[in-house]
Amino acid sequence: MKQRDAILVLSAVVLATFVSAILLAASVTNASGAAGRRPGIFFDPRNPPPPARTIGDVQRSVPEALAPIVPLQRGLTDTARDAAGYLLILLGTSAALVLAHEQVVSTYRASLGGWRAQLRVLATGLAVIGVGASAAALAWIVFLGSLSSVRGGPLGVPAALQVAIGAFSVALVIAGIAAVVGFAAAAWRLGDALFTVAWLRRFAGVPAPLIALLGATLIYIAWQIPFAGGVAVLAVLAYALGAVVTARLVGSAHAVTSQ
């Protein structure tokens, strides 16, 4: 094991120790015997969840060794709950970079180029979204129109509807996987674009996965902007799908010319 690897393992051990302390404090403060605890997970259409205990109350009810950690644990877990969406985006981007690395790299390469190439990718993505939405709507119209002939068949309307919803969900999952791959490539491109700024060029040696995560962070921040966030997300989705389709087309073209 090299020195760099040893440092990484040591960092993981330190992080794991810190997280263990936080989780231990969370377990003790919310153990089943603790008075006035909040549920770990709560969903109710009528009643709100019980209010949280104050940090002082919690500190009095836990062992002395854990009392100093309680404010940190409360702050960190509240932040983690609020940032669940952001963490999900980071995890999805990382998963695409690890598990679909070749696809992300080919998509990234397909989106390289000047503003004309970027515009072409975006326009391709918008066209793909348009085609997908139109085709999905028409498919539902055709299917629902043909339900009258299904009524007397062996399956019946409820079963036919369930099959259609199942098939539609599968199509959505496939489109979602393509979108995640494209999103990782788009985030990578955005991170690249950020490092072309003059005062950031000195950090150009940052590893590509970190650049992609930085790009994903920027996209998430843009998503939070009122009104403009929706447009930004649509543009990113279009760019992601456009990049995936462009990569597929480029790959197909290379395959044809090499034959």
By the criterion CB under 8 A, which residues form the site for other proteins?
Answer: 1-2, 5-6, 8-9, 12-13, 15-16, 19-20, 22-23, 26-27, 30-32, 38-49, 73, 76-82, 84, 87, 91, 94-95, 98-99, 101
**By C-beta, is 80 or 200 nearer to other proteins?**
80
**By C-beta, is 55 or 126 nearer to other proteins?**
55
CB of 52 to other proteins, least distance (A): 9
CB of 210 to other proteins, least distance (A): 14
**By C-beta, is 84 or 142 nearer to other proteins?**
84
Q: Taking a C-beta distance cutoff of 8 angstroms, is the pair 211, 191 a contact? A: yes
Residues near 214 by beta carbon (within 8 Å), at least 6 away in sequence:
187, 191, 194, 206
CB of 3 to other proteins, least distance (A): 11
32 CA to centre of own chain: 33
Distances (CA, A) of 88 to 101, 191, 193, 205: 18, 18, 23, 26
Per-residue tokens: 206: 């940052």
**By C-beta, is 13 or 174 nearer to other proteins?**
13
**By C-beta, is 47 or 148 nearer to other proteins?**
47
Q: Taking a C-beta distance cutoff of 8 angstroms, is the pair 110, 240 a contact? A: no
CB of 51 to other proteins, least distance (A): 10
CB of 150 to other proteins, least distance (A): 24
CB of 184 to other proteins, least distance (A): 13
Residue 75 host element (H or E)? helix 70-82
Per-residue tokens: 36: 């006035």
Residues near 119 by beta carbon (within 8 Å), at least 6 away in sequence:
none
**By C-beta, is 2 or 201 nearer to other proteins?**
2
- Least Cα distance to 192 among 204, 182, 184 occurs for 204
